[in-house]
Amino acid sequence: MLPRDLQPEQFAGYPAEARKLTVAHLGALRQLPVSFVPSLLREVIDYDFKFPAERSAIDKELAILSSLSQEQITERFRGFAQLTISAKLEQFDWINEPAQFVEQQSAYLWTTHQLDAFRRAATEYGTRLQAEAPPDPMPVRRLGIAVIGQGVTSYDVPLFRNLRAHGTYFGQVKPENGLELLLGAVAERAKAHPVPYGHWYVDGGSAADCSPALTCVSYNALEPVRAALLKNIDAEIARPGMGPEQLRTHLARLTPPDLGMKSEGNAVLDRFQMKLFTEGSGTQIFSTTFAQWTAREVLRRAQALTLLVRFAPRQRQRPMNELLTNVHSNAGVDATGSLIDGDMAAYYQWINQQRLPGADQSSFLVWFEGHSQALVIAPTLPRGTESSSAIDLGKLLSLAAG
């Protein structure tokens, strides 16, 4: 099967919006190399379950491709067209299983020493696309918040060491009602700049009261989903011939109802939450890993304007078999270890935020929950400095948010 032979009826298995979009741009798809089309379809097939920022990016890309002449397409995709793939891959059902095709194609390109050529072609294509499809203007500059160290009574080792060079350290923060102040300010920000899936609160434990203006995800609220997935994984591992690649393929095919998520729920959010566990590594068993991975995906996919992440104590390290089978679930938590996890995760959260449009104007705040230590990175604050002024978190957030 080659792209030039594509027909509208072959996309009958796609969700409604994805099918409509694909058929509308079928003319452009027919002109593209088979080494490229499945990568695009891998994104398009989930169009109905993607966030607005992701949909906008797909819409722009397809519109650009449809505007190109045959000569322009030939020139732009020359690097992809020069790649060879096996007859087996050509016969693969890459229309309905594009993700599985991309995995197998990657393995084939690696064994035939073509992976570097593919990467060069993909990089050139992505750079050109980014220049032709600039991001939409943001209604407010981006703000990230990380709250770390829940449950830790004392800790004498310096925190935020990776972030100090980029912002101002505050050592006399008034911690009273700190979380309530942050959540209230974030909720007001979301109300003032309403954007679908634009403002998030992620909690590694049990979420505090969450405003309807925020998209809220918490580790404890998803306990039934995690338990169902671990049970599913345990059953699959026990099957003869089941290896890592087969398990990965199995997980990629799961849907929210397979893990007990109600069909009348929010389809976009449910699919996102399911993928946090089926695509993440360790998100199923460690709350700090869950919070860190969720922050990464919220920024990468939803391109959140506001993201507050609160890290909670994770369970202690135990043998992996025990963790995966969820036995001895009351083995205790490691609050201090979770603080260390959260400190590094806050740094990663800031890095991922800096990869998004408007990075030079974005702000970031990290606070040691219940304590007097915080750090703020903002365009209006000096870098690599310390402040000894007494300040509450509400005023500190005002400095960050501008």
| Residue that finishes a domain, picked among 132, 153, 186 | 132
The answer to the question of residue 138 being in a domain is: no
Which candidate, 266, 231, 271, places its Cα nearest to that of 50? 271
Same domain, 164 and 87: no
Q: Of 132, 166, 200, which residue constitutes the final position of a domain?
A: 132
The pLDDT assigned to 323 comes to 59
Task: Looking at the structure, tell me whether residues 85 and 202 fall in a common domain.
Answer: no
195 and 298 fall within a common domain: yes
- Three-class SS of residue 1? coil
| Same domain as 255, residue 359 | yes
> pTM value?
0.91
Q: Are residues 119 and 184 in the same domain?
A: no
* Domain count for the chain: 2
Whether 402 shows a pLDDT value over 90: the answer reads: no
Q: How confident is the model at residue 316 (pLDDT cuts 50, 70, 90)?
A: confident
Q: Are 348 and 207 found together in one domain?
A: yes
Q: Quick one: 119 and 253 in the same domain?
A: no
- State which residues form the domain around 18: 3-132
Cα distance between the two ends of the chain: 55
Residue that is last in its domain, among 99, 132, 165: 132
| Same domain flag for 230 and 101 | no
Q: pLDDT of 360-396, one tens digit each?
A: 999 999 999 999 999 999 999 999 999 989 999 999 9
> How far is Cα 384 from Cα 377, in angstroms, rounded to an integer?
10
Clarify whether residues 216 and 160 are in a common domain: yes
Cβ atoms 95, 3 nearer than 8 A = no
361 near 379, Cβ under 8 Å?
A: yes
Give a yes or no: residue 159 inside a domain.
yes
Residue 301 lies in a domain: yes
- Residue 157 corresponds to which tokens in the numbers above? 């080792």
Is there a single domain that holds both residue 235 and residue 377?
yes
CATH number at residue 311: 3.40.720
Q: What is the model's pLDDT at position 265?
A: 76
Task: Tell me the per-residue pLDDT of 253-295, one tens digit each, with 9 for 90 and over.
Answer: 899 999 999 877 799 999 999 999 999 989 999 999 999 999 9
Q: Are residues 297 and 396 in the same domain?
A: yes
pLDDT tens, 157-177? 899 999 999 999 999 999 999
137 occurs within a structural domain: no
pLDDT of residue 244: 80
Is 187 a domain residue? yes
Closest CA to 352 of 338, 369, 340, 364: 364
pLDDT of residue 326: 56
Q: Which residues contact 168 (CB under 8 A, 6 or more apart)?
A: 375, 376, 377, 381, 382, 383, 385, 386, 387
| Mean pLDDT along residues 103-125 | 96
Q: What pLDDT is stored for residue 249 in this prediction? A: 83
126 and 151 in a single domain? The answer is: no
In a domain, 99, yes or no: yes
What confidence tens digit (pLDDT) does each residue in 7-28 have?
A: 999 999 999 999 999 999 999 9
Residue type, 341: D
Decide if 245 is inside a domain.
yes
**pLDDT tens readout for residues 225-250:** 999 999 998 888 888 877 887 888 88
Residue 318 has pLDDT above 60, yes or no: no
Q: Are 117 and 83 in contact (CB under 8 A)?
A: yes
Q: Is residue 62 part of a domain?
A: yes
Of the pLDDT bands very low, low, confident and very high (cuts 50, 70, 90), residue 331 is low
For 258, the token pair is 């397979």
Lowest-pLDDT range of 254-268, 300-314, 344-358 = 254-268
- Residue ranges of the alpha helices (H) in 238-380? 244-252, 267-278, 287-297, 320-325, 335-354
One-letter amino acid at 377 equals I
Q: Extract the tokens encoding 254.
A: 């799961």
